[in-house]
Amino acid sequence: MRSPDMIRPGPLAGWLLKGLDRLRAACSPEPAGDGGTPWPVLVGAVLGIGLAVVTGVYLAQEREHGLQDARRETQNVSLLLARWLEADFHAIEVLETATADWIAAQGIDTPEQFRARLSGHPAYENLAARIAGQPRVRTLFLVDAEGRYINGTAAWPPPSLHAAGREYFDRLRDDPGRDHFLGVPVPALSDGRMVIHLSRPIRASDGSFLGVVAASIDLAYFDRLLDAIALGPQSSILFSRRDGVLLARHPRPGPTGSRFEPTPELQRILSAGPGGSLHGRSPVDGQERVAGVQAVEGYPLFVVVGRADSEVLAPWHRLAGRIGPALVLVEGMILGGVLLARRMARARTARLREYAAAIEAAFANGTAALSEVEIPSGRFLRVNRRYCETTGRTEAELCHGLTVHDIVHPQDRRKITGDWRAAMDENGHWDTELRYLRPDGTVVWGRISVAVSARDQRGRPMRALAVVQDITELRATAERLRLCMRISRIATYTRDLVTGEITCGPEARALHEAPATNGPLTTEAWLARMLPADRRTVEAMIADGLARQCPEMTLAYRIRHPVDGTIRHIEVRTHFEFDADGRPVVDRGAIIDVTASREAEALLRLCLAAGRIGSFRHDFTTGLVQCGPELRAMIGLPPGDGPIAEQDWFANFLPEEIARLRANIARGEQVQLAEGSDTFRVRHPGDGRLRHFEARVRAEFGPDGQLDSMHGVFIDVTEQHEAAAHIAHMACHDALTGLPNRVLFRERLDEALARARRHAGFALLLVDLDRFKEINDTLGHPMGDALLRAVTARLQAELRETDTLARLGGDEFAVIQSAVDQPQDATTLARRMVEVLGTPFTLEGHQVCISTSIGIALAPGDATEREQLFRGADMALYRAKEEGRSCWRFFEPEMDARMQRRRALETDLRRAVAKGEFELLYQPIVDARSRRINGLEALLRWHRPGHGPTLPDSFLPLAEEIGLIVPIGEWVLARACDDAAAWAATWATTWADALKVSVNLSPAQFAHRGLVEAVATALQHSGLDPARLELEITEAVMLQGTEATLATLQRLKGLGVRVAMDDFGTGHSLLTCLQRFTFDRVKIDRHLTGSVGQPHAGNALAVIRAVTGLCAGLGMTATAEGVETEDQLQALAREGCDEMQGHLFAGPCPARDVPALLRHLATTDHPAGP
């Protein structure tokens, strides 16, 4: 029992195996006898009788074997046909189920809908499409609940037919439990041909019967199939229903649909299981046959395949006719054989003694590992030294209790218990490879050959002799080789060119996507995976190579993976062997998967093309240049594969580049420069464009130091060169207008200042567009960009070529007006620019009006340094914008002092935010009638070092401008909430718990996205009830982004805080503000309050009366600010003001004084209001 991949034994082991074979031949007991016993005659008689008996038994067995083979064959064929029928009918059933699902998906629940929707031509086309790939289905049709034929693939329009009374319809209509039915053969309604129907019910969503979908199967289809697969002239194949209705038979005994009576044996097989075999007389034609029977699972059908006895036993009759005469001849020869037996036995015994002596010597002194074991126990009888070394045990250990099973690796013990003993009983010889497990845990692989060395009187094996070779290293080497081949995706194969069989290992099968079987492959199976075009090429190359008796050949082709469809590239290097007559006999070779390298090559080619890279080799000894098609196309050379002469190579190079390149090559040769790079330009003849290339080369020098050749690559860097130029331009120019940007303008300004120092004066004009942001926000950024381009065009039209116009960013431009000797020159230009930019612009149907402000500084009069000159023009621009815009101003020295003050204020303000130099003062808000305090307004003060307390009006505008208003506002919120919470704790009364604190929010602070989160954080950290916090906003807040403003107000109200309108009466949208949002409080501006008690106070009182009326109607509290006198209080109270705030009650005080103020005002008697 030899494994095909076992390692072959060495010379010594082979010699020992021959000796084992000799011992095995002699291990049976030799018959003994004396001179008076005629044992040759007895042996001859026994042999003669035995031969006759054996011959008879043999012929009987052969006859039975013939019948058994016929049973297996017919059973296999019947099984295949039954499976085929099952698959066919199942496919039709799937088709009908899909059709029923399609009908159910249309929501058909009534017979009327069934007939109306499925009787049209679209349904006919759908049914026809469904059976397009079903050759077994003759027609697919639909029948309604009343049996009317409403549509089908037989014809269009559908004929007027009726299926009522047909079994395939009636059974499904009458039996709600049936999900399909296979009918008996009947004539088709359309043309009368014999068909069978497989039908399925169609039911509504409530389970009611709507009709059936049925497929008709032409019985001629089965007849054609049986004619094609007939087994022999006297064989038969039968398809039938279980009730004996015949569907198809070969040969045909009568009309289709006839009935026969199944035999009891046939009925027993069908009832016992899916299939079986029988031997007897056919009920159809009465002929004796061996038959295989198989039921079709899931359907009331069965298949019978039969072969006639005369046909099955024909070989046996021929065999018996040949054996009979031969038996007579052999019996006659036995006597002579018996006479020779004694002489041969004596010679054989002598030879065996010689072999036994030789094996004993090898057992004692040989280098092979030998052991003799007892059968069947497996105990060792004797071992030699080499066997002990191999197994790692001593002779005493092995021969005193251990068995073969004990020293073999656990995973190989099955071979000992099963394969070994079976081989000893069968042929007395066994070859295998297995592992020994040494006591120290190491594993030794052994190649074992075992032969029976002694048998008992009955011929049973008693002892066996084993030869063991240590093949551990050989196995490791072979495994490393297999691993290397698997990693490298290399495999080997051998093809018998006579039979076409290919022998290969699993590696080759995996590479070639061949079936993973142990047997050889056919050439056809081997070539099946190749792409058709490659297969034709390979077959042609092999045929040509064999015709020319080429000893070796390299083939390349592609194969397609059968599952995922991927393409693999294979390279085969093969060696052909021919016989003495020149005929090819063997093809041996290696298979290499080169997919990775092929894909890498393709990727490299793609990279070369994408990166516009081409390679070349310049041979300076011949003057010829070899290059690829990529490089030819890049430098404008004609296509081709041949070498290029040097003059043609440089044909498109610029002349000055050729001279420079030749000089560089000569210098490189002088210094023996091995590698280098250079750049050059080529005029492409195709489009005349100038192309820029970078060359990277490697030079090869001869023994004499002369330059032999140079190879390298050309890289087309034209796009990079042009991009670099474009980037350099964009770095110094504005992308929108194309004007110089701030960087280039500064360079031009530095150049102008250098000339100014030499008494060439100029003017610097900073131009700022007024209302540009408004236009950009209302009409959109594209319109704003168009406006900037139009402004650029108008300004350029007013400048000279020697002047410079630049865009510094946004809506800010700058002009260097050269050769300015008098301020009047700059004034003239500024006036023209103001005028031209004041003229309306027409952009995409919109008329746009802007104005401009210009600041002017003169050099060298105002400054000779760039930053000073810029600062002067910027201060002049600032003055122009302050003084009404649409004008220009020149720099004046006092502007610098004013700017210094502003910068000092900004510095101090930033320090104040960092160091906390702010303080909150609180002024009470009292009830107009009870004079009771309802709340306090937080007022911000800044203790500016060196300046004392500073009011908000002097620093908050700057804080908004430089972005500090948000952190200042968040600090005010947090401090006000903390103070209000502390007052409630100090003044522990219900009144104090309801005391409110008001905080003003600036428009910039209100527009900040984190306002709501800042308010929520201040409330959470302080623990203040949100109802005690009131946020005051001005009308200016309501005018910025109305929808976003209302959303923020709603979120603030959602926190539970109050919202008040501050300084009401100073804006432009009073009623609109009150209409859009319901405020908790409206604070009447102090300017209106201050007019009360003054001459012409009637107008102010009328406005106040109107405001208080609106507040009363809208449910808002009216609060008057700036109440200074008792008369004002009385007048405002009469007009309906609910609350008052002003110095009449108390001035602003620090938070620490608020508890005392509250106590004082709570205990002071005040006259009640009117």
Give the number of other CB atoms < 10 A from CB of residue 989. 11
Supply the pLDDT for residue 854: 93
| Burial of 1117: CB neighbours in 10 Å, binned 0-12, 13-18, 19+ | buried
What sign does the CA torsion over 931, 935, 940, 943 have? Answer: positive
Amino acid at 1002: S
Q: Give backbone dihedrals phi and psi of 200, rounded to 5 degrees, phi first.
A: -140, 140
Supply the pLDDT for residue 609: 66
How many Å apart are CA 206 and CA 195, to the nearest integer?
A: 33
Supply the pLDDT for residue 768: 93
Task: Please give the average per-residue pLDDT across 141-167, as a whole number.
Answer: 88
pLDDT-derived band at 7, boundaries 50, 70, 90: very low
Q: Is the pLDDT of residue 329 over 50?
A: yes
Share of the chain above pLDDT 90, in %: 15
Q: Which residues contact 371 (CB under 8 A, 6 or more apart)?
A: 380, 382, 383, 384, 387, 398, 465, 466, 468
Domains of the chain, start order? 106-220 (3.30.450.20), 367-475 (3.30.450.20), 489-599 (3.30.450.20), 615-723 (3.30.450.20), 737-891 (3.30.70.270), 915-1163 (3.20.20.450)
Q: What is the SS3 string spanning 70-113?
A: HHHHHHHHHHHHHHHHHHHHHHHHHHHHHHHHHHHHCCCCCHHH
Supply the pLDDT for residue 33: 41
How many Å apart are CA 150 and CA 129, to the nearest integer?
A: 17
Q: How far is CA 522 from the centre of its chain?
A: 39
**Nearest CA-CA partner of 149 in 206, 193, 192, 211:** 211
Q: Which residues contact 298 (CB under 8 A, 6 or more apart)?
A: 86, 89, 90
Q: Is the pLDDT of residue 34 over 60?
A: no
Q: Is the pLDDT of residue 1029 over 90?
A: yes
How many Å apart are CA 5 and CA 1003, to the nearest integer?
A: 91
Helix (H, G, I), strand (E, B) or coil at 738: coil
Q: Starting from the edge strand earliest in sequence, which strands make up the sheet with 501-504, in order? A: 521-522, 501-504, 490-496, 584-593, 567-578, 552-560
Helix (H, G, I), strand (E, B) or coil at 824: helix
pLDDT digits (tens, 9 = 90+) for 918-964: 999 999 999 888 888 889 999 999 988 888 888 888 888 888 877 88
Omega of the bond leading into 233 within 30 degrees of 0 (cis): no
Residue 675 · residue 698 · CB < 8 Å: yes
Pairing of strands 369-374, 461-470: antiparallel
Amino acid at 37: T
pLDDT digits (tens, 9 = 90+) for 589-625: 888 888 777 777 777 667 666 667 888 899 988 889 9
How many Å apart are CA 417 and CA 410, to the nearest integer?
A: 11
Q: CA dist 171 to 166, 200, 827, Å? A: 9, 10, 110
Task: Please give the average per-residue pLDDT across 855-883, as a whole number.
Answer: 88
Supply the pLDDT for residue 781: 87
pLDDT digits (tens, 9 = 90+) for 958-1008: 888 778 889 999 999 999 999 999 887 776 555 666 789 999 998 888 888
**Nearest CA-CA partner of 404 in 422, 423, 383:** 383
Which pair of tokens denotes residue 1063? 């300084």
What sign does the CA torsion over 1059, 1064, 1068, 1072 have? Answer: positive
Model-level pTM? 0.37
Which pair of tokens denotes residue 466? 């084993």
Q: Which residues contact 605 (CB under 8 A, 6 or more apart)?
A: none
Q: Is the pLDDT of residue 154 over 60?
A: yes
* Highest mean pLDDT pick, 488-492, 708-712, 1154-1158: 708-712
What sign does the CA torsion over 32, 38, 42, 48 have? Answer: positive
Which pair of tokens denotes residue 810? 């946004």
Q: CA dist 419 to 269, 415, 702, Å? A: 38, 5, 70
pLDDT digits (tens, 9 = 90+) for 1099-1132: 788 888 888 888 888 889 999 999 998 888 888 8
pLDDT-derived band at 5, boundaries 50, 70, 90: very low
pLDDT-derived band at 28, boundaries 50, 70, 90: very low
pLDDT digits (tens, 9 = 90+) for 731-776: 889 989 999 999 999 999 999 998 888 777 899 999 999 888 888 8
Q: Is the pLDDT of residue 1065 over 70?
A: no
Q: Is the pLDDT of residue 1039 over 60?
A: yes
Q: Is the pLDDT of residue 390 over 70?
A: yes
Which pair of tokens denotes residue 1027? 């109802």
Which region among 7-11, 253-257, 552-556 has the lowest average model confidence (pLDDT)?
A: 7-11
Q: Is the pLDDT of residue 253 over 80?
A: no
Which pair of tokens denotes residue 427? 């042929």
Q: Which run of H or E residues covers position 793?
A: helix 781-798
Supply the pLDDT for residue 256: 59
Residue 219 · residue 185 · CB < 8 Å: yes
pLDDT digits (tens, 9 = 90+) for 926-935: 988 888 888 9
Supply the pLDDT for residue 269: 80
Q: Is the pLDDT of residue 293 over 50?
A: yes
pLDDT-derived band at 1018, boundaries 50, 70, 90: very high
Residue 219 · residue 247 · CB < 8 Å: yes
* Highest mean pLDDT pick, 346-350, 830-834, 859-863, 1160-1164: 830-834
How many Å apart are CA 127 and CA 117, to the nearest integer?
A: 13
**Nearest CA-CA partner of 493 in 480, 474, 512, 475:** 512
**Residue 106: left (phi > 0), alpha (psi -120 to 50), or beta?**
alpha
Supply the pLDDT for residue 992: 61
Q: Which residue has the tokens 């060169």?
A: 721
The set of long-range contacts for 115-118, using a CB threshold of 8 Å and a minimum separation of 24, is 115/144, 115/148, 115/150, 118/142, 118/150, 118/151
How many Å apart are CA 179 and CA 725, to the nearest integer?
A: 80
Share of the chain above pLDDT 70, in %: 87
Q: Which residues contact 373 (CB under 8 A, 6 or more apart)?
A: 379, 380, 381, 403, 404, 463, 464, 466
Q: Give backbone dihedrals phi and psi of 370, rounded to 5 degrees, phi first.
A: -125, 145
Which pair of tokens denotes residue 983? 């007052």
How many Å apart are CA 947 and CA 917, to the nearest integer?
A: 12
pLDDT digits (tens, 9 = 90+) for 480-489: 777 766 676 7
Task: Please give the average per-residue pLDDT across 391-396, as a whole number.
Answer: 87
Supply the pLDDT for residue 29: 44
Which pair of tokens denotes residue 157? 């329009």
Residue 1002 · residue 1033 · CB < 8 Å: no
Supply the pLDDT for residue 45: 67
Q: CA dist 541 to 522, 552, 793, 1154, Å? A: 19, 12, 75, 109
Which pair of tokens denotes residue 184? 């008996």
pLDDT digits (tens, 9 = 90+) for 685-728: 888 888 899 888 999 988 888 888 998 888 888 888 888 888 88
How many Å apart are CA 670 and CA 664, to the nearest integer?
A: 10
Amino acid at 34: D
Residue 1064 · residue 1070 · CB < 8 Å: yes
**More confident call, 438 vs 13:** 438
**pLDDT, the chain, mean:** 82
Which region among 325-334, 525-534, 538-547 has the lowest average model confidence (pLDDT)?
A: 325-334
Supply the pLDDT for residue 749: 92
**Nearest CA-CA partner of 257 in 212, 214, 193, 305:** 193
Residue 1080 · residue 1058 · CB < 8 Å: yes
Q: Which residue has the tokens 């066997």?
A: 387
pLDDT digits (tens, 9 = 90+) for 98-120: 898 888 888 888 888 888 888 88
Supply the pLDDT for residue 1170: 45
